[in-house]
Amino acid sequence: MVGIFAGLTGAVVVVVLFYFTAWAKDPAPAIKVDATPIVRDAKAVTSFAPVVKKAAPSVVNIYSTQIVHLRRYRDPFNNDPFFRQFFGDPSGQGNGNQTGRTRREQSLGSGIIISPDGYILTANHVVEGMDEIQVAIPNSKQQYTAKVVGADPPTDVAVLKIDATGLPAVTLGESDQLEVGDVVLAIGNPFGVGQSVTMGIVSALGRKVDDPDQGYSIQDFIQTDAAVNPGNSGGALVDSQGRLIGINTMIKSSSMGSEGIGFAVPINLARSVMDRLISGGRVSRGYIGIRMQDVDADLAQQFKLPSQNGVLVDDVLPGTPAEKAGIKSGDAIIEFNGKKVDDENILQLAIYQCAPGSDATVKLIRDGAARTLTVKLAEFPVEVAQVKTVQPAPASTNADAFDGLDGVTVAALDRQARLGLSAPARLQGAVITSVNPSSNAAEAGLQRADVILEINHQLVSDTDTFAKLKQQAGGKRILVRIWRRDGDDDGTRWLTVDNAKK
């Protein structure tokens, strides 16, 4: 299965710059908000026509145009199978080279009027890189040229402005009040056939989409089975009272069409981004400077945690707010600013939504005891890339599997090895030269070129220390801390290895 933006493509590079336009500061829009909870014990209705009549006039069609200079023709859109599926090869020339020409690339999407004076919310990928953006108002022959007030790629949110007044603005709802099972309607312009409405329910909340093509992004998606297709991107997801609760942005599909798994950016997150884009043209985010991983049952036991809820700190980057606050590798963060932390995505969102320079309270567990620290957040640096999640190797089916770390051979982390791994000078440990594929170590996820830093909380300074600690390791599980380079990225991680033969 692949993640595909509902209107355009589905890829973001690992490092994304927060960018903004050169337009002067815009006045704050007049927004209508209705946070009244939904009445969930009401009788079933036979028609949603009144809801559609209320919300649909606020959903616009967006036609974007990019001028492609064909001095050397290499169409990045046409190289994407998603575009070839729906738009074909616009050049008629395959992937050959052409010179001395330009071509107009056109795409379509949707948007939502959020104020009578012309502010429009849409998905960033609908308008990103486009030279001209036209907005068509439903049930009207009027079409306007729009400017981009600001855009935020990590949340896939963009704000447009058209020169108009008296527009039918949508009423914003409260996405934090949503529950799985709530009825929702998706309104947009799928496949360019014209405004269409589909109905479904909220299938899940707080979704993070694992996609190999995605890099740094901020995800807290509403998942819905309301049909969403190409052209729906930037369109409205409304509740049963016609209030905007999300911006449709992505589908999960193997056929490039709706398969009942669509995703929308919650309106609370989109509104927070929108307010900062309108007031300052950019979005600044909090940063504390840690690498982290989710907690499984084995790690919870090894670190004396009461449950699997929380995030384990893999590494604390030097000179960062986390280091200054006293956060250490091996700490398990269970609360951030009074909000419970169940997993890595929740903590990332909580940090990103804090203003740089503000103080945050961090509740953590260290050596089985709870502590509360205060950290002063910095601004998220654009050069910091998201650490890729390391997936453990598949379980071995060999009945003669090695116990503990017996299947691992190591060598000294000498100058040559350090250069080959591009390992930092501060790193001390033993580098793995091979892992028997039938070993418990391989099953746990240890790999060749990993550097073993700790065994059961004891430092590995060289190969002799590794051999000594390996022999001393007792108990059912061995806790191992490693450093790993993954492409252009690197970081530490905790793994647990079965210490008994199968």
Q: How far is CA 170 from CA 161, 203, 277, 444, in A?
A: 15, 23, 19, 51
Q: Are 353 and 259 in contact (CB under 8 A)?
A: no
pLDDT digits (tens, 9 = 90+) for 223-245: 999 888 888 889 999 999 999 99
Q: Which two tokens stand for residue 211?
A: 């996609």
CA 269 to chain centre: 13
Q: Which amino acid is at 287?
A: Y
6-15, 339-348, 395-404, 420-429: the lowest-pLDDT one: 6-15
* pLDDT for position 92: 46
pLDDT digits (tens, 9 = 90+) for 88-147: 444 444 444 444 566 666 768 899 999 999 999 999 989 888 888 999 988 777 889 999
* pLDDT for position 80: 39
Distance CA 128, CA 252 (A): 21
- Set 156, 211, 314, 315: catalytic member: 156
Looking at domain 408-498, does it have CATH number 3.40.50.10420?
no
What does the buried/exposed string (b/e) look like for 48-77 if buried means 16 or more CB atoms within 10 Å of the residue's CB? beebbebbbbbbbbbbbebebebeebebeb
For the chain, give me the number of helices (H) and strands (E)? Answer: 10, 30
* pLDDT for position 10: 31
Helix (H) or strand (E) holding 253: strand 244-253
Q: How far is CA 22 from CA 19, 277, 382, 441, in A?
A: 10, 12, 19, 54
pLDDT at 13 over 50: no
- Set 58, 203, 233, 396: catalytic member: 233
CATH topology agreement for domains 1-36+47-61+108-125+147-283 and 408-498: no
Query: What fold, for 1-36+47-61+108-125+147-283?
Result: Thrombin, subunit H (2.40.10)
* pLDDT for position 326: 95
- Map out the domains of the chain as residue ranges: 1-36+47-61+108-125+147-283, 286-379, 408-498
Distance CA 159, CA 23 (A): 12
223 - beta bridge partners?
A: 204, 263
pLDDT at 328 over 60: yes
More reliable by pLDDT, 406 or 395: 406
Architecture of domain 286-379 in CATH? Roll (2.30)
pLDDT at 25 over 80: no
Distance CA 86, CA 488 (A): 34
> Is 457 a catalytic site residue?
no
> Is 403 a catalytic site residue?
no
Q: Are 393 and 445 in contact (CB under 8 A)?
A: yes
Q: Which two tokens stand for residue 127?
A: 């308008």
- Set 125, 225, 239, 315: catalytic member: 125
pLDDT at 73 over 60: no
pTM for the whole thing? 0.67
292-306, 339-353, 393-407: the lowest-pLDDT one: 393-407
185 - beta bridge partners?
A: 199, 238
Q: Which two tokens stand for residue 418?
A: 């350090």
DSSP states along 200-215? EEEEEEEE----TT--
> Is 175 a catalytic site residue?
no
Burial class (CB in 10 A: 0-12, 13-18, 19+), 81: exposed
Burial class (CB in 10 A: 0-12, 13-18, 19+), 129: exposed
- Give the residue-averaged pLDDT of 431-445: 88
